[in-house]
Amino acid sequence: MSEIPKLIELERTEKTAILRWGDGSEHTVPWKEIRYYCPCARCSPSRDEEGRANELRELIKSFRSEKPSVKTVGRYALAFEWSQGCSSGIHKFERLWDIANEEDPDHGKPYVHGAW
Amino acid sequence: MSDSPVSHHSGIPSDKGPEKASDEQNAQMEQAYAQMRRKLRMTQLSEKIRHKIMVLSGKGGVGKSTVATGLALSLAQQGHKVGLLDIDITGPNVPKMMGLGGQGLHVEDGLIHPTVGHLGVKVISMAFLLEDEDTPVVWRGPIKLGAIQQFIADVEWGELDYLILDFPPGTSDEPLTVTQSLPDIDGIVIVTTPQDVALLDSRKSISFAKTLNVPVLGVVENMSGFTVRGKVEPNTKVELQAPGGKNVETISDEDGQWSATLDIFKQGGGKDTAEELEVPFLGALPFDPGVVRGGDDGVHRIVADPEGESALAFAKVVEALSEQLSEEDEPGINII
Ligand SMILES: Nc1ncnc2c1ncn2[C@@H]1O[C@H](COP(=O)(O)OP(=O)(O)OP(=O)(O)O)[C@@H](O)[C@H]1O
Ligand SMILES: [Mg+2]
């Protein structure tokens, strides 16, 4: 896990999350981008394959813009609650940092398949 | 290591000139060195694991292993990296619940590598040491505790968000050994059932937790209420007459499947105990026949039915649990 600056502030608008970090940087990220990268066990496998990844994108695009409610999880993640679609992901700060910096937060391996 | 052999020096200088370490001394040095390495590994290991949670109960058979496995799966379902350590050396049953049987140990470069179960949960069980799954190990006393320490120190977990530790029932030596070996344990989850005796036992385990000097994260009431399920026409309302003259309503899904939970025992016992003992109540899990499907494929309900009553109940417990974890150290993020 690489070191990332501390997340200091999250400002929510209708369409975007504005993330302010300890190193003074600020990123504006569309919610739909964050939602696409939902790390839960249902959404993650969809990003494994091109076809389903696009389906996931389309699905998220179809949702209306919405400012989510938000909770901190421990001292390492945020959980968002939307009225439509998936709200079960725990979004770690490292992932949010990657998304903000337009890097793939999955680092090429969206989901480790267990024995199911 | 109070029981280590003490070497006796006669005081008579040996005629072999400059002293050569005896075999015994070598063995002792090696042992001390191994001990040091282990300690170092424990510390390193501890740093790579964000949260360590022990699952205990006063009484056996209340569902510790089911709850420990369920917590691990529920956390994994939310995208966490999770490990599950089954310390019940006399009756380990976690592997079966995780769909793992007869795995044996995977050792590489002197480290034990966990086996990956459902939803990517990494599993280590004392059962992996058994020749035959149905013959329990009868290690006693220091050997057993030594094996536990070794297990903890020598497993290559990698980075984990959560390590869940399942224990044998009662207030035995194992939890003590673990708390003494593994630094920074977040705390203990106590599993109880609605019956009074089990509650009494959980009172004991709460006071036991105090002696371990580890916080109690909360009480989970298991087998609370009874989940019934069935099949009717899709999207149909189902009405059930529940005990106590209550009615329960539910709607079947697109496939016609429905499930509902009825309270059979008096409810809220776990909640009352939690309040009385001033520890958090994390939630209730329904009695769900086939919560773990028997046989070799051992599929936990959370995996088989990720949106069913049990999975939802587990998700709520996990939510309550993570609130306990976050309370201790505020992340200090300003949310606008
Ligand atoms: N919520 C539940 N609904 C239905 N059955 C359950 C539930 N929880 C546990 N069981 C069943 O009860 C039995 C005991 O559960 P489990 O092995 O998890 O208990 P335990 O406390 O770990 O036992 P031990 O003290 O022997 O380690 C198992 O057969 C399990 O499938
Ligand atoms: Mg058990």
- The per-residue pLDDT for A114 is 36
- Measured between CA atoms, the residue of chain A closest to residue B120 is A114
- The per-residue pLDDT for B142 is 66
Q: pLDDT band at A116, cuts 50/70/90? A: very low
pLDDT for A76 beyond 50: yes
DSSP of chain A, one letter per residue?
----PPEEEEEE-SSEEEEEETTS-EEEEEHHHHHHT--STTTGGGGGSHHHHHHHHHHHHHSPP-PPEEEEETTTEEEEE-SSS-----EEHHHHHHHHTT--TTTT--------
Q: Would residue A88 count as lying in a domain? A: yes
Which amino acid is present at B83?
A: G
In 3D space, the residue among A36, A45, A52 whose CA is nearest the CA of residue A96 turns out to be: A36
- Cβ atoms of residues A47 and A109 within 8 Å: no
Q: pLDDT band at B300, cuts 50/70/90? A: confident
Helix (H, G, I), strand (E, B) or coil at B100: coil
- Across the interface, of B50, B77, B330, the residue whose CB is closest to A76 is B50
- Select the more confidently predicted residue: B329 or B21: B21
Q: pLDDT band at B226, cuts 50/70/90? A: confident
Q: pLDDT band at A48, cuts 50/70/90? A: confident
Residues near ligand 2 ion, CB 5 Å cutoff: B 64-65
Q: pLDDT band at B68, cuts 50/70/90? A: very high
Instruction: Note the pTM of the prediction, 2 decimals.
Output: 0.70
Region B300-315 average pLDDT: 80
The interface predicted TM-score of the complex, written ipTM, equals 0.73
Helix axes B173-181, B141-153, angle to 10 degrees: 40
Q: Would residue A116 count as lying in a domain? A: no
The residue to which tokens 């099949």 are assigned: B231
- The per-residue pLDDT for A85 is 87
Q: Would residue A37 count as lying in a domain? A: yes
CB B78 to CB A89 under 8 A? yes
Distance B134 CA to ligand 2 centre (A): 14
Q: pLDDT band at B296, cuts 50/70/90? A: very low
User: How many domains is chain A partitioned into structurally?
Assistant: 1
- The per-residue pLDDT for B131 is 60
> What is the H or E stretch that residue B320 is in?
helix B309-327
DSSP of B133-192, one letter per residue?
TTS-----HHHHHHHHHHHHHTB---SEEEEEEE--SSS-HHHHHHHHHSS---EEEEEE
Q: pLDDT band at A1, cuts 50/70/90? A: very low
Domain at A20, CATH number: 3.30.2020
Domain residues for the domain of A87 are 7-100
Q: Would residue A60 count as lying in a domain? A: yes
CB B119 to CB A41 under 8 A? yes
- The per-residue pLDDT for B67 is 93
Interface contacts (A, B; CB < 8 Å): 85
Q: pLDDT band at A32, cuts 50/70/90? A: very high
pLDDT for A112 beyond 70: no
As for ligand 1, residues whose beta carbon falls within 6 Å of it are: B 57, 60-66, 88, 91, 93, 168-169, 222-223, 285, 287-289, 291-292
B188 phi-psi bin (left φ>0, alpha ψ -120 to 50, beta other): beta
Whole-number Å distance between alpha carbons of B61 and B57: 9
Whole-number Å distance between alpha carbons of B139 and B136: 9
Ligand number with the minimum distance to the CA of B193: 1
CB B120 to CB A111 under 8 A? yes
Domain ranges of chain B: 38-224+265-329, 226-262
What superfamily would CATH give domain B38-224+265-329? P-loop containing nucleotide triphosphate hydrolases (3.40.50.300)
Distance B289 CA to ligand 1 centre (A): 10
Give residue-wise pLDDT tens across range B126-170: 777 666 655 555 556 666 677 777 777 788 888 899 999 998 876
- The per-residue pLDDT for B94 is 82
Length of chain B: 336
- The per-residue pLDDT for A36 is 93
